[in-house]
């Protein structure tokens, strides 16, 4: 490629060609070409608008649109020749269009700049990716609801400080995961509102002297509205930062879930089994079954958090309007999208396949004096102040530790040595089923409440 060809789209001001190293260093086509569909989509809408505004003829518009359709087909067939010399996806496609249809191809860029073009492309691309991520997130949430309904009455220990606290149902625990993801999906959909604003028409930074119809382009591209300040339109990357922030939160939630899955699949807990297809073995220890999918998701949290910090740092000192720094926005954003989508897909496949070891869970809930709070509440209902009942139960637990007996395993006479208000009916509250069923209010762990919460969850994700 000659120097003249190399600089054909912007080189009029320059007297020498770009240094080869600088050319490689500043090029973005190696990664931004994944936005080719959105670049073509935006260019076709721009050409249609220019024709309606009288800037292009209908024949010119049709030639541009057909040429871009052919270029899309070339790219998807693997026949397109990408050039680092042409810097980015936008100039590669425009140069190829000019090769195909001649001088008409050079008219496409009338009334726009690469600054508003790239800002538009990346919003279109992220909007498409958000739709795919929303689908994977919803699939995972649906799997959680199905599993929670199936395990609505399965008893397991609830933990604080990773110490046995009170009995809960496995279904209730799964619904805690669901609530995390429900907030994540709300954030994702709210973020889309700010992604779906159109910068095109801002040109380089000040708008354009051509009689463009921004509202028409906005309509053609399905944006909710236009960015109303040209300086802000080309330099804003809030939407990318916001997306990375919600991604960091969502992957943090998946990491917390992963940590529990890793613990629960260990021999020490043995609460659940993961199917073999989500695990790997050891090269030296033949007995090993490693929960690699949860571990890897847990590990990817750090990389997503890093992308958020990278974008915040990228933008913190930039004056208005566009700066070359903003080329660095894409790789962190692309990887955040890919990482979140991959993690959600893995979990959406894996979660419905979990198999709880119900008897192991139940036996674990019997240990650790999980019904101590129920005994304290029982004494309160007998008229004893809570602080006094707390002390009484503490002494009963100390006795149980000494005798290696759970509260439910003590005789009535043993329990009455701590309070004469304890009667035969105490054993109704000391059972695991009695404990979880007693928490029969919205947000509680009772099986009926779990089933009601599942129904509400299904209604929520259907919207």
Q: Are the beta carbons of 97 and 46 closer than 8 angstroms?
A: no
Task: Give the span between the Cα atoms of 130 and 133, in whole angstroms.
Answer: 5
Omega before 233 within 30 of 0, i.e. cis = no
Task: Give the span between the Cα atoms of 299 and 295, in whole angstroms.
Answer: 6
Nearest CA to 429 among 359, 386, 372? 372
User: Can you read off the two tokens belonging to residue 210?
Assistant: 């051509």
Active-site residue identified among 15, 161, 283, 441: 161
Q: Report the DSSP pairing between strands 272-273 and 225-226.
A: unpaired
Task: Give the span between the Cα atoms of 273 and 353, in whole angstroms.
Answer: 9
Q: How many CB atoms lie within 10 A of CB 25?
A: 9
Residue the block writes with tokens 């996806």: 89
User: Can you read off the two tokens belonging to residue 103?
Assistant: 């001088």
Task: Give the span between the Cα atoms of 258 and 344, in whole angstroms.
Answer: 12
Nearest CA to 338 among 330, 327, 350? 330
Task: Give the span between the Cα atoms of 45 and 421, in whole angstroms.
Answer: 80
> Which residues 6+ apart lie within 8 Å of 317 measured at CB?
none
Residue the block writes with tokens 């800002």: 119
How is 320-385 classified by DSSP, letter by letter? SS--GGGGGGHHHHHHHHHHHHHHHHHHHHHGGG-EE-HHHHHHHHHSS-TTHHHHHHHHHHTT--
- The torsion angles phi and psi of 198, rounded to 5 degrees, stand at -100, 120
Q: How many CB atoms lie within 10 A of CB 131?
A: 11
Q: For this structure, is 307 an active site residue?
A: no
Task: Give the span between the Cα atoms of 254 and 308, in whole angstroms.
Answer: 17
User: Can you read off the two tokens belonging to residue 143?
Assistant: 């799997």
User: Can you read off the two tokens belonging to residue 214?
Assistant: 């921004």
The distance of Cα 29 from the centroid of its chain, to the nearest Å, equals 26
Residue 47: its H or E element: helix 36-52
Q: Catalytic site residues?
A: 161, 282
């Amino acid at each position: 490629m000659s120097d003249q060809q190399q600089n054909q789209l912007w080189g009029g001001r320059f007297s020498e060609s770009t240094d080869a190293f600088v050319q490689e260093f500043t090029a973005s086509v190696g990664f931004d070409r994944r936005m080719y569909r959105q670049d073509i989509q935006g260019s076709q809408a721009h050409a249609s608008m220019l024709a309606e505004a009288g800037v292009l003829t209908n024949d010119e518009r049709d030639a541009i649109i057909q040429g871009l359709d052919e270029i899309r087909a070339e790219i998807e067939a693997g026949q397109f020749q990408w050039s680092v010399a042409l810097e980015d996806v936008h100039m590669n496609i425009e140069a190829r269009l000019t090769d195909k249809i001649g001088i008409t191809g050079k008219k496409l860029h009338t009334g726009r700049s690469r600054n508003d073009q790239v800002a538009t492309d990346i919003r279109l691309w992220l909007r498409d990716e958000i739709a795919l991520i929303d689908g994977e997130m919803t699939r995972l949430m649906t799997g959680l609801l199905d599993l929670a309904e199936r395990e609505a009455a399965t008893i397991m220990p609830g933990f604080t400080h990773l110490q046995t606290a009170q009995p809960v149902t496995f279904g209730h625990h799964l619904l805690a995961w669901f609530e995390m993801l429900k907030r994540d999906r709300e954030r994702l959909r709210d973020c889309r509102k700010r992604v779906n604003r159109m910068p095109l028409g801002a040109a380089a930074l000040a708008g354009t002297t051509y009689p463009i119809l921004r509202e028409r382009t906005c309509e053609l591209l399905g944006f909710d509205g236009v960015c109303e300040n040209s300086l802000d339109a080309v330099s804003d990357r809030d939407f990318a930062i916001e997306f990375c922030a919600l991604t960091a939160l969502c992957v943090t939630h998946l990491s917390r879930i992963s940590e529990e899955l890793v613990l629960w699949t260990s021999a020490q807990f043995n609460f659940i089994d993961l199917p073999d297809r989500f695990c790997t073995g050891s090269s030296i220890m033949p007995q090993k079954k490693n929960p690699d999918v949860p571990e890897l998701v847990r590990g990817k949290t750090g990389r997503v958090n890093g992308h958020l910090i990278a974008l915040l740092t990228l933008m913190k000192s930039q004056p208005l309007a566009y700066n070359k720094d903003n080329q660095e926005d894409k790789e962190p954003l692309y990887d955040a999208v890919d990482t979140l989508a991959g993690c959600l897909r893995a979990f959406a496949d894996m979660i419905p396949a979990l198999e709880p070891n119900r008897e192991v869970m139940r036996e674990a809930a019997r240990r650790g004096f999980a019904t101590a709070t129920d005994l304290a509440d029982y004494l309160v209902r007998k008229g004893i102040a809570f602080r006094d009942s707390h002390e009484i139960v503490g002494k009963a637990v100390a006795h149980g530790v000494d005798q290696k007996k759970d509260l439910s395993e003590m005789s009535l006479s043993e329990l009455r040595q701590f309070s004469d208000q304890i009667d035969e009916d105490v054993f109704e509250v000391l059972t695991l089923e009695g404990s979880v069923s007693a928490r029969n209010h919205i947000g509680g762990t009772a099986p009926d409440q779990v089933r009601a919460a599942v129904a509400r969850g299904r209604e929520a994700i259907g919207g």
